[in-house]
Structure 1
Amino acid sequence: MDDEARAATRHCYRVLEPIHSMIYFAPEAEQAYLEAGLDKGGRLAYFASRAAALGPVGAGVVAATFYNFNPELVGKHIPRAWTLASPADLVSARADAAGTALRRLLGEQLASSDALAELAELARQAAQGAEPDGRPLFAAHADLDWPTDPVVVLWHAATLLREYRGDGHIASLLNHGIAGLPALVTHTATGKGFLPEIARKLRGWSQEEWDSAQARLREEGIVDHDGALTERGVAMRERIEGETDAASSAPWSRLGADKTNRVRELAKELSRAVVAAGAYPSGLFASQR
């Protein structure tokens, strides 16, 4: 994979990610899940809504496919969630909420624009160029019916491409022998994700568990005594990201360079609007999206 193709693949992920991940912070989503039957939002709603495409699976499947959450935390909410709301109802509630939230964040002018409709179609073509082999979260979402509303089409396509990349990323982490918690620790050490303390709490790990993972990584020469990545750690994370790019490139290769560049151009503008409209709470991330 050449540098230009790798850069295009990673850039497409970055500019489409806000269009997908705003759903995890949108008040419209939490309200929709409550109306579907869940008795609270937060991590119960997150696990249930994101896993709903898989059907009424157990905690082990959710922990395995989500990868860096403490399995004990997952077990507090799954499979209990399926006694409160059906996966099918949550899939529908999530898509409806995504459309409502994106329209609010983008404003009606952008939400009904030709640019959004064009991006939705291009992102759909890219997502339909992805194969499900070995990618359980992507495959589950790819089995869902395509919506008809262009705003929701765009969100669904961004979701598919995000889960496709995520499944490939987990494969790379496994290849490097990096389990869920060490993966989270090293990711926060790059300074490009959640702040470490927020990541630890959101993913359900105790301070003792976090410190123990850091100690093991320190023994392996991946982080230093301050928790920062060593030269070896930086090289490892760069290899993992490169492998993730390579594993995520097929949709964009099939879409072609011209259309891929058009996705980058259109999604950049829309994602900026989503972020500027306050899609994310302040103070969560080590760097801006």
Structure 2
Amino acid sequence: MDHDDAVKVAHRCHRVLDPLHSLIYFAPETEERLTAAGLRPGRMSYFAGRSAPMGPVGPGVVAATFYNFNPELVARHIPRAWTLADPATLVAARFEAAEAALRRLLGDELADSATVAEAAELARAATAACTGDGRPLYAGHAELDWPAEPILVLWHAISLLREYRGDGHIAALVRSGLSGLEALVTHTATGRGFLPEAAKKTRGWSDEEWDAAVAKLRDEDVLDADGGLTAHGTAQREEIELDTGRSALAPWLLLGEQRCARLHELGRELSRTAVAAGAFPAGVFADR
């Protein structure tokens, strides 16, 4: 694969594999397992569950690595979560939740199939090219022991690939000069992310904070008077996505074109099955 083809392949593989990881944030099994481990229901499960592989870190670390959440929202749940359940217990509970959710959505026959075993082998092979340099959230997850069950090997491998790409995306946002809130505002302005009201609600930003960010971005010619992206803002977001793609190439270059195509094929089948079984609220993931 040449460089441009590799960027496209990396994006395509990310899109078909990501639902198999991201379903953990919507599955009822997640909150069931994490609250049984001691956490309070709601956002605490998300913040503590995802950051637990980094150990009992403070709210500043979680806000920095998650990037677009209001630090005040994070601080309502971290570090209190670590007084209710230790990170190792939460890591184990999250794996249990992932397996339960995947088996419910895929069915035991597919979850234990050769399709999953092959996809797991390919995805794990891809992670061998990932490094922790400048990627703290990925590095925390990469230090976890590999599970034994193929369905969890697949989930963990996709989680590593996702956090690896995500850390690179944050680096691209930092290079662009966008704060976490500004990145969220411009993402909604692309029309491919949350609507503003949903973004504010889920990420913990007030109307006043959001409006101040919008005003600043208008002054910088990133947003127009209607809140849409200007030509400059569009070019900035396009460069961020290209930068993100370039920084995520290593796993896919290692696999090579044929194995990437096979993993894409397998991942697409599995993701479509999970989505069709109700893994996400309507409209969260379009057909891939």
Letter in 2 for 1:191: G
Letter in 2 for 1:275: V
Q: Deviations over 1:193-245 (max 9, x none)?
A: 22221111100000111111111111111111221112211111110000100
> Which residue in 1 is equivalent to 2:158?
158
Q: TM-score w.r.t. structure 1 length? A: 0.96
Tell me, yes or no, if structure 1 residue 65 matches structure 2 residue 65: yes
Q: Tell me if structure 2 keeps the 8 A contact 1:59–1:71.
A: yes
Cα distance in 1 for residues equivalent to 2:263 and 2:5? 15
**CA 1:149–1:46 in structure 2 vs 1: closer, same or farther (change >3 Å)?**
same
Identity %: 61
Q: Tell me if structure 1 keeps the 8 A contact 2:272–2:287.
A: no
Cα distance in 2 for residues equivalent to 1:270 and 1:75? 36
Q: Tell me if structure 2 keeps the 8 A contact 1:192–1:287.
A: no
**CA 1:275–1:286 in structure 2 vs 1: closer, same or farther (change >3 Å)?**
closer
Q: Tell me if structure 1 keeps the 8 A contact 2:48–2:81.
A: yes
Q: Tell me if structure 2 keeps the 8 A contact 1:223–1:233.
A: yes
Cα distance in 2 for residues equivalent to 1:32 and 1:286? 24
Letter in 2 for 1:202: T
List gaps (5 residues or longer) in structure 2: none
Cα distance in 2 for residues equivalent to 1:184 and 1:69? 9
Structural mapping, 1:40-119, within 5 Å: 40-119=40-119
> Which residue in 1 is equivalent to 2:183?
183
> Which residue in 2 is equivalent to 1:23?
24
List gaps (5 residues or longer) in structure 1: none
> Which residue in 1 is equivalent to 2:218?
218
Letter in 1 for 2:15: R
Q: Tell me if structure 2 keeps the 8 A contact 1:193–1:286.
A: no
Q: TM-score w.r.t. structure 2 length? A: 0.97
Letter in 2 for 1:36: A
Residue 166 of structure 1: how far off its partner (Å):
0.4
Residue 128 of structure 1: how far off its partner (Å):
2.1
Residue 108 of structure 1: how far off its partner (Å):
2.0
Q: Tell me if structure 2 keeps the 8 A contact 1:191–1:286.
A: no
Cα distance in 1 for residues equivalent to 2:25 and 2:285? 18
Cα distance in 2 for residues equivalent to 1:54 and 1:43? 18
Residue 190 of structure 1: how far off its partner (Å):
1.3
Q: Tell me if structure 1 keeps the 8 A contact 2:30–2:97.
A: yes
Tell me, yes or no, if structure 1 residue 194 matches structure 2 residue 215: no
Instruction: Find the residue that maps to 2:107 and give its secondary structure.
Output: helix
Residue 109 of structure 1: how far off its partner (Å):
2.5
> Which residue in 1 is equivalent to 2:145?
145
**CA 1:246–1:260 in structure 2 vs 1: closer, same or farther (change >3 Å)?**
same
Cα distance in 2 for residues equivalent to 1:78 and 1:265? 39
Cα distance in 1 for residues equivalent to 2:116 and 2:125? 14
Residue 273 of structure 1: how far off its partner (Å):
1.1
